[in-house]
Amino acid sequence: MKMLKATVSGSFRTQIATDKDRHQFSNVSGIIPAHDWEYHIQHAMRMFPIWIENDKNFEDVNFEGIIKLRVDNVEEVDSEPTCLHKNIKELSWEDLQSLACYKKLREIPLYKKGDIRRAREKAYEKYEEIVNGKRVFKTKKQLKDFKSKMEEQGLIEGEINRMISDALNMITDDENPEKSYNFTKLPDLYVDGKKETSKTEVKEK
């Protein structure tokens, strides 16, 4: 798959909420998706904390957020997103950032910002909604309003129920916990589908 090796420079904070003792950097590189140029900085900023975390030159430098980042160069490389064919419910923080860039899902939380379970839920929701084009219901009111709107358009009950069944239901129902939304019980969801094991790979195993 065609990807891009981005080389960046700039500065970042080493202390919380202040630019004092900022750290200058240059010639830091990493892989981003081969999207149009307007996404290069956005993707590089999201991936940058991972790049320096894996770079021995920054082992003893504290990172507290980017101050300025420039993309100095990009070149095509043969690579693939780390999230490819992986179950969204089990993605690592690095894979979540990879997915956010690959599918342009800006709503996925930034690297290690908050709880990873919540980040996986948001990734699952937005993948279903934006990539797979599914409706998402998060409140009983949303569901009720949808039913009313479909009835006004003349749809019969069976058609409406099928549409609701095809949607992602994220409604929490404390009165009916068995029917309530539960992230752990959602079906596995693989990025670009689950990778098929070839006959050659099976023989090697």
Split at pLDDT 50, 70, 90, the class of 199 is low
Structural element, H or E, at residue 128:
none
pLDDT of residue 25: 98
> Is the predicted pLDDT of residue 205 greater than 80, yes or no?
no
Is residue 121 helix, strand or coil?
Answer: helix
pLDDT digits (tens, 9 = 90+) for 112-150: 999 999 999 999 999 999 999 999 999 999 999 999 999
pLDDT of residue 203: 57
Identify the residue whose tokens are 């009983």.
Answer: 140
Alpha carbons 8 and 31: distance in angstroms, whole number: 11
pLDDT digits (tens, 9 = 90+) for 149-166: 999 999 999 999 999 999
Alpha carbons 99 and 83: distance in angstroms, whole number: 6
Identify the residue whose tokens are 């797979």.
Answer: 132
Alpha carbons 46 and 165: distance in angstroms, whole number: 35
Apex 193 CA angle, 51 and 84, nearest 5: 10
Q: In 10 A of CB 64, how many CB atoms?
A: 16
- The answer to whether 180 touches 174, Cβ cutoff 8 Å, is yes
Alpha carbons 165 and 200: distance in angstroms, whole number: 39
Domain boundaries in the chain? 1-80, 134-185
Q: Which residues contact 2 (CB under 8 A, 6 or more apart)?
A: 34, 76, 77, 78
pLDDT of residue 39: 98
Apex 47 CA angle, 75 and 98, nearest 5: 90
Q: Which residues pair with 204 in a beta bridge?
A: none
pLDDT digits (tens, 9 = 90+) for 172-193: 988 888 889 999 999 999 999 9
pLDDT of residue 175: 83
Split at pLDDT 50, 70, 90, the class of 204 is low
Q: In 10 A of CB 163, how many CB atoms?
A: 14
| Percent of the chain whose predicted confidence (pLDDT) is above 70 | 96
Structure tokens at 160: 């409406």
Enter the pTM of the model: 0.93
Alpha carbons 93 and 111: distance in angstroms, whole number: 6
Burial of 132 (0-12, 13-18, 19+ CB in 10 A): exposed
Apex 31 CA angle, 39 and 61, nearest 5: 100
pLDDT digits (tens, 9 = 90+) for 1-42: 999 999 999 999 999 999 999 999 999 999 999 999 999 999
